[in-house]
């Protein structure tokens, strides 16, 4: 954990590792692969995916880290963003996770100089598992890889009263029409992060360049910040996505990721 290479946040925090795949965005879950490789070494037992799988719960040293980040951010007077979580889904909803969620909410309350970005593929569980009200340093987000999942997930996300509601469109598997939900206010989608998929099985549909452009224009029209993260295992060549070879530099990792030659890395202003 600690400092991260993920561009849209400063830190990553995982109260536990382990999850269940729920939709096509999970097909090539990098967290599952990483957990298979190093989970046992980190937790002393295998970390498993799937219903009934054994999760790996963070120890005391991990829980203490955000308090250090809080002190640094407060001393520097610069708010920092924390992504929770890259190796799990915070609203997975197992009964055994309830005490860890309570502890997470306490930690969030004790770290007002940090903005906590809780990203889920299960926003239908937010109302059930969240606190009575969200503090001002919580941003709630949902992955929406296609219109089908946007239509299913966003109504739950948009009901949440929190500082920022955001969507992670990664990987983008269909064109999206978000015009009816984009906006800067309460009950609207306030931020969009989007990007391609990495890995040998990465999906890069031929029309993706047009889908990305269309989403960019929808966000601009609504005055909603957008963050283009990466092309994943591809690069843009005009209207096409070209699959990268193993030794090619990765846009978004080794060099800036450009959409039509432009870096798009907008982030909403913190509300806290
Ligand atoms: S929700 Fe996230 S962590 Fe869970 S299986 Fe899907 S991609 Fe992996």
SS3 of 137-148: the string is CEEEEEECCCHH
pLDDT number for residue 1? 47
Question: Which domains, and CATH codes, for the chain?
Answer: 2-243 (3.80.30)
Q: Is 47 in the pocket of ligand 1 (CB under 6 A)?
A: no
- Ligand 1 pocket mutation pick from 6, 17, 29 by most atoms within 8 angstroms of CB: 29
The DSSP bridge partners found for residue 191 are 166
Report the share of the chain in percent with pLDDT over 70.
Answer: 97
136: CA distance to ligand 1 center in Å? Answer: 26
Taking only the tens place, the pLDDT of each residue in 61-97 is 999 999 999 999 999 999 999 999 999 999 999 999 9
CA of residue 184 to ligand 1 center, whole Å: 28
CA 187 / ligand 1 centre spacing (Å): 25
Which one of 32, 83, 145, 202 would you pick to mutate in the ligand 1 pocket, going by the greatest count of ligand atoms within 8 A of its CB? 32
Is a pLDDT exceeding 80 seen at residue 131?
A: yes
* pTM (2 d.p.): 0.94
**Dihedral angle computed from the Cα positions of residues 170, 217, 164 and 124, in that order, rounded to the nearest 10 degrees:** -50
Closest C-alpha to ligand 1, atom 8: 29
Rounded distance between C-alpha atoms, residue 153 and residue 28, angstroms: 20
3-state secondary structure 57-78: ECCHHHHHHHHHHHHHHHHHCC
Residues of the chain with pLDDT > 90, as a percent, come to: 79
242 touches ligand 1 (CB under 6 Å):
no
Q: What average pLDDT does the structure give for the chain?
A: 93
Give tens-digit pLDDT for 213-265: 999 999 999 999 999 988 888 888 888 888 888 888 887 778 788 899 999 99
Structure tokens at 172: 């983008």
pLDDT at 127 over 70: yes
Q: Are 83 and 45 in contact (CB under 8 A)?
A: no
For residue 69, give every residue at least 6 positions away whose Cβ sits within 8 Å of its Cβ, in sequence order, or none. Answer: 10, 11, 80, 82, 111, 114
Q: How far apart are CA 109 and CA 105, in angstroms?
A: 6
pLDDT tens, residue by residue, 19-78: 999 999 999 999 999 999 999 999 999 999 999 999 999 999 999 999 999 999 999 999
What pLDDT does residue 272 have? Answer: 52
pLDDT tier, 98 (very low <50, low <70, confident <90, very high otherwise): very high
First to last CA, the chain: 24
Q: Does residue 98 contact residue 133 with C-beta atoms inside 8 Å?
A: no
Q: What is the pLDDT of residue 244?
A: 87
């Amino acid at each position: 954990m600690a400092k991260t290479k993920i561009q849209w946040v400063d830190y990553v925090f995982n109260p536990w590792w382990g999850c269940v795949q729920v939709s096509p965005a999970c097909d090539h879950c990098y967290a599952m692969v990483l957990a298979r490789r190093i989970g046992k070494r980190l937790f002393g037992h295998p970390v498993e995916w799937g219903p009934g799988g054994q999760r790996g719960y963070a120890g005391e040293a991990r829980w203490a880290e955000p308090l250090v980040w809080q002190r640094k951010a407060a001393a520097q007077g610069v708010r920092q963003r924390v992504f929770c979580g890259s190796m799990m889904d915070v609203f997975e909803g197992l009964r055994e996770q309830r005490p860890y969620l309570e502890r997470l909410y306490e930690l969030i309350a004790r770290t007002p100089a940090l903005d906590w970005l809780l990203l889920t593929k299960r926003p239908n569980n937010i109302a059930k598992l969240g606190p009575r009200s969200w503090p001002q340093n919580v941003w709630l987000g949902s992955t929406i890889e296609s219109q089908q999942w946007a239509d299913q997930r966003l109504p739950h996300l948009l009901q949440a009263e929190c500082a920022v509601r955001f969507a992670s469109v990664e990987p983008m598997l269909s064109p999206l029409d978000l015009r009816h939900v984009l906006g800067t206010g309460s009950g609207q989608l306030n931020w969009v992060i989007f990007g391609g998929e990495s890995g040998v099985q990465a999906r890069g549909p031929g029309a993706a360049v047009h889908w990305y452009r269309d989403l960019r224009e929808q966000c601009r029209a609504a005055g909603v910040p957008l963050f283009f993260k990466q092309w994943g295992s591809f690069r843009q060549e005009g209207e096409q996505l070209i699959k990268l070879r193993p030794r090619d530099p990765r846009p978004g990792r080794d060099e800036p990721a450009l959409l039509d030659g432009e870096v798009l890395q907008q982030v909403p202003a913190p509300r806290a």
